Structure 1
């Protein structure tokens, strides 16, 4: 990601990019699972500093790519648990996760992990629709719940 190093641990990092290639929670447009890979591919064009301002955040911060969460592509509920468990050690290391997703379902387990570490958290969600349904087709967890 952005030509940054790859790391296997969040220890010592200020922030880390984490891919969550999940789209089994979506009802209409699959393909978000390819988001992390494509964002990484396009990010190689980004310079490590801003040419106009001279800002160079990677000179002051330790940032790396922590790879992808190994989700279960056949089970949404297991994947939600896997994502939540994956974020725990990252947050425990004091590393700020920078997530590359994935359908909107990924917000739930990430927020759960953040709540476990920091207490109550909030989310500002900007989208064309609210994604606050109590269920979708009888399921409590999906991209629009």
Structure 2
């Protein structure tokens, strides 16, 4: 049975332009949240462009992707697939990325991701956002 906690709200209950933007309007689970261990796919952002020299702005990627993803629907109209019923997906927020200390930023990212590898899975990148199944 599907857990309603991990379902995005219906567009008729909460319009897609309203509310705090989380990735695909899924629940946001900070590190201390008790249900975080239940997540099958955790999506989190790496807001960082500290190593960029000529085209900064990548640090805004996670926020922009979250905002754009609010239009994603619960069911794919073409295939009929309902991914939110198959797995528990949540937005885990952003990794704390220092804009001035590259070593600290990368260390924080590694520590955050290492927790998912400990569960037997690795991350995959989505622009400025990472998905960790």
- What TM-score do you get using the length of structure 1 for normalisation? 0.64
Task: Report the counterpart of residue 24 of structure 2 in structure 1.
Answer: 2
Structure 1 position 96, deviation (Å): 5.3
Q: Is the 8 A contact 1:71 1:82 kept in 2?
A: yes
Q: Secondary structure at the match of 1:11?
A: helix
Contact 1:14 1:95 in 2 (8 A): no
1:20 touches 1:100 (CA, 8 Å); kept in 2?
no
Stretches of 4+ moved more than 6 A in 1?
none
Task: State the SS of the aligned residue for 2:111.
Answer: helix
Residues in 1 aligned to 2:114 and 2:121: alpha-carbon distance in whole angstroms: 10
SS in 2 for 1:44: helix
Distance 1:14 1:72 in 2: 28
CA RMSD of aligned residues (A): 2.4
State the Cα distance separating 1:49 from its structure 2 match. 1.4
Q: How far does the alpha carbon of each residue in 1:93-124 deviate from its partner, in whole angstroms, 9 at most, with x for none?
A: 4565454544xxxx9xxxxxxxxxxxxxxxxx
2:57 corresponds in structure 1 to 31
Matched, 1:14 2:40: yes
Following superposition of structure 1 onto structure 2, how do residues 1-145 of structure 1 map, counting pairs within 5 Å? 1-9=23-31, 10-94=36-120, 97-102=123-128
Structure 2 unmatched runs, 5+: 1-22
TM-score (norm 2): 0.69
Q: 1:75 to 1:100 in 2, by over 3 A?
A: farther
Determine the C-alpha separation between the residues in 2 that align with 1:100 and 1:22: 14
Residue aligned with 1:64, SS: strand
